[in-house]
Amino acid sequence: MAEILLGSHVGMSGKEMFLGSVKEAAEYGANALMVYTGAPQNTRRKEIKDLNLEAGLAYADKAGIKEIVIHAPYIINLGNMEKPEMFDFGVEFLAKEVKRAAAFHSKVLVLHPGSSLSAGVEEAVEQIAKGLNLVLDADDSNVRIALETMAGKGSEVGRTFEELRMIYDKVDRKDRLRVCFDTCHVNDAGYDLVNDYEGVLAQLDKILGLDQIAVIHVNDSLNPLGAHKDRHANIGQGTVGYETLHRIVHDERFAEVPKILETPWLCAEGETKKTIPPYKQEIAWLKA
């Protein structure tokens, strides 16, 4: 059995920037990591030369960190039909994020497909595919954009495997698309991983292909099946549960796929502020 590729989302700030991210991942016993190239809720970004990439990549090599996943900010919404300037902005920013991902030696950039806001799913899918075509047709890197499975809150697109398939069908460079499978989102969207693990994967295989999964976000869920909420829980503290999450982490079909924890930080005894990362314990527990 190949070594399990398992890590978490890590921060990137201060003088060390990416070197600090890699050190943090190594402390957790991770061999994969995920970073945002800047704050996920805004578009302020440092220049690539200021991210301390060389030192970080050298440290990753020494520490045995094999996979670096980049997550695009939530602020990109290619499905926005209401404000054309937000669509243009999203395309431009996504193109830059693909270039940044390449600079991190990452093979994959995770993207929330977008929200239709007041338009219907079909129109939003057209718009999302149009945006992806604009980005991918002009890019010559080998970074793949992994469309995340969404929980289906509000007007999110990508709440079903079929919706992701609709986007695929309209993108010219399908070879540059992949899927990010989020266990919390899939549960909240109504796919019963707990009681029908193989059934859910068979459905995904039929509609998109299991080989399209490039990243797995390993998250428990605070919500019941089909709640369309998207609230992550710590491993074993939610409705997906340890056994199902352990099963997907150890599933040999995904041996080559990085698994990334995005579980909530914990509070110290008697505190209300979340200051303790759970990742070292959760990684060890899931590897067991």
Phi, psi torsion values for 181, nearest 5 degrees: -95, 110
Residue 67, annotated ligand binder? no
Residue 9, annotated ligand binder? no
Q: Which amino acid is at 154?
A: G
Phi, psi torsion values for 20, nearest 5 degrees: -60, -40
**Residue 203: how many CB atoms within 10 A of its CB?**
15
Distance of CA 204 to the CA centre of its chain: 17
Distance of CA 136 to the CA centre of its chain: 19
Q: Are 98 and 109 in contact (CB under 8 A)?
A: yes
Q: Are 70 and 37 in contact (CB under 8 A)?
A: yes
Residue 232, annotated ligand binder? yes
Residue 88, annotated ligand binder? no
What's the rounded Cα separation, in Å, for the pair 165 and 216? 18
**Partners of residue 178 on adjacent β-strands:** 146
Residue 156, annotated ligand binder? no
Residue 262, annotated ligand binder? yes
Residue 182, annotated ligand binder? yes
What's the rounded Cα separation, in Å, for the pair 76 and 91? 8
**Residue 237: how many CB atoms within 10 A of its CB?**
16
* Structure tokens that stand for 247 in this block: 């099963």
The annotation places the binding site at 71, 112, 148, 182, 185, 217, 230, 232, 262
The annotation places the binding site for Zn(2+) at 71, 112, 148, 182, 185, 217, 230, 232, 262
